[in-house]
Structure 1
Amino acid sequence: MGRRLVPLTLDNLSDLPQRCRSCVFWELDPVRADSAIKAGTTESAKESWLSAVLLEWGSCGRLVHVDDVPVGYVLYAPPDYVPRSIAFPTSPVSPDAVQLITGWIDPAYQRQGLGRVMVQTVAKDLLQRGFKAIEAFGEARWKQPACLLPADHLLAVGFKTVRPHPVHPRLRLDLRTTLSWREDVELALDRLLGAVQKEPALRPL
């Protein structure tokens, strides 16, 4: 089985699942996201967002291919490029951190260590760019796939709560720790990145 990780670009944006290519939960503020959904322009808005981040900040995602088939991805960026983040009661993300926006692994390819490889690749990229940590807004009452990752899954792979909240805690991971992860976190990472599987729905915070 040959696996290959590549940066997310405009050329391979189409390799994301359809539901993810058209989701702008994080990329637009709530008002603009609602307008884009009503106008049917979410895919073009997603492309415009990616283009802007690539031009101004650089690589903001990784795709993983197994035998040339795209089977997963992870998306990350500084909070200035993630308008939805300011809507959370536990914002803002720390100035030395990048926000883990979302991620996904095809369930058929879980338990193969892909989650660990993806996150370690992101960690190496961000460490080289001078960042110390990655932070995420978790869903403490997670019951079904949505745009937020489950808080308990984030905790299971080493994130620590830096600002508690009954619904949307903010969690933080020291990037240096990811470089020495053992294989026993692979299942937890696959569960984390496999949590977002269905069509995400925008909902008020």
Structure 2
Amino acid sequence: MDERLQERLQERLPEGLRVRLRSLVPEVTEIPAPEAGEIPGLSGAVAYWAGEELRAEEWFREVERHWGPPGLVMRRGPEVLGYALFAPVEHLPRSLSLPVSPASRESVLLAYAGGGPRTRRHLLVRVLREMRLRGVGVVEAIGSDAGLAPYHLATRHLMESGWEPVESGRRWGLRYTLTRVELANTVEVAELARGLIGRVRIPSFGRAPAPGMYRGYGDGFSRSSTAPRTPRNRYPKHPSERTPTPV
């Protein structure tokens, strides 16, 4: 929540009663190096993909210096909902020892995204948006087909989110699939979708029905050919209100 709005709301509270309003809308931000070790699960993911030689804070600081922040975190107030870890392959040596590997050491790899299903899906979208802003054309990820390999996204989840499979391989009974997203195509599809939405005419209420169309049930109209018929009065008049019949 905006700090100014929070201050205005607190000013209206009785004197002596001060509460810290908590934002209900999750917020996604870059992970600064000093906070990398405080995010649950992130240190383990860094150790798996980058090795245990450096702590998470040190690894983040090194990648920031050469490339930029390598992670995003989603929070609701002080609560951490999930995180995403990504970097050029040269900073993620584990990716070169798996049965499938990115084509180039300069490729950008989405290593892992932690959190619930909805959180991960939202983080995947934000990662692609961030990579597009940094000028990255292709992002790859190594998924676990069974969803059992630690610190790997499930291949099914990646493909449901629009990632395309490239190749698969097996090691120690687990199957891995290299997937890829071309951001130029993603932007093109998004622009096409916005164009289609712009061409849709939303009907306004209160217009007369077109010939041969139905109006709402119970309004006294039925299908018409050229013009709607006069609605019938469902309730007969009282005898005192009837027009006398001429003799």
Q: What is the TM-score normalised by the length of structure 2?
A: 0.58
Structure with the higher helix share, 1 or 2? 1
Indicate yes or no: 2:129 matched with 1:129. no
Amino acid in structure 2 at the alignment position of 1:162: V
Unpaired runs of 5+ residues, structure 2, are 1-23, 194-247
Indicate yes or no: 2:166 matched with 1:162. yes
1:171 is paired with a residue whose SS is strand
**How far apart are the structure 2 equivalents of 1:63 and 1:49?**
16
The runs of 4+ residues in structure 1 deviating greater than 6 Å are none
Pick from 42, 45, 58 the counterpart of residue 20 of structure 1: 42
**1:133-148 equivalence runs, <5 A:** 133-142=138-147, 144=148, 146-148=150-152
Name which one, 1 or 2, has greater alpha-carbon Rg. 2
Query: Displacement of 1:66 after TM fit?
Result: 0.8
Equivalent position of 1:59 in the other structure: 69
Give the structure, 1 or 2, with the largest relative contact order (CA under 8 Å, sep 6 or more). 1
Equivalent position of 1:84 in the other structure: 94
Query: Displacement of 1:128 after TM fit?
Result: 2.1
Q: Is the 8 A contact 1:76 1:101 kept in 2?
A: yes
Equivalent position of 1:171 in the other structure: 179
Unpaired runs of 5+ residues, structure 1, are 37-43, 183-205
Deviates more, 1:95-104 or 1:54-63: 95-104
Pick from 143, 150, 157 the counterpart of residue 153 of structure 1: 157
2:27 is paired with a residue whose SS is strand
- Deviation per CA, 1:145-166: give whole Å up to 9, x if none: 6122211221111111112324
**How far apart are the structure 2 equivalents of 1:149 and 1:5?**
19
**How far apart are the structure 1 equivalents of 2:37 and 2:89?**
24
How many residues of Structure 1 are paired with residues of Structure 2 in the alignment?
162
**How far apart are the structure 2 equivalents of 1:79 and 1:67?**
32
**How far apart are the structure 2 equivalents of 1:83 and 1:117?**
26
**How far apart are the structure 1 equivalents of 2:133 and 2:141?**
20
**How far apart are the structure 2 equivalents of 1:145 and 1:136?**
13
Q: CA RMSD in A?
A: 2.6
**How far apart are the structure 2 equivalents of 1:122 and 1:79?**
16
Q: What is the TM-score normalised by the length of structure 1?
A: 0.68
Task: Give aligned-pair identity as a percent.
Answer: 24
1:25 is paired with a residue whose SS is helix
2:140 is paired with a residue whose SS is strand
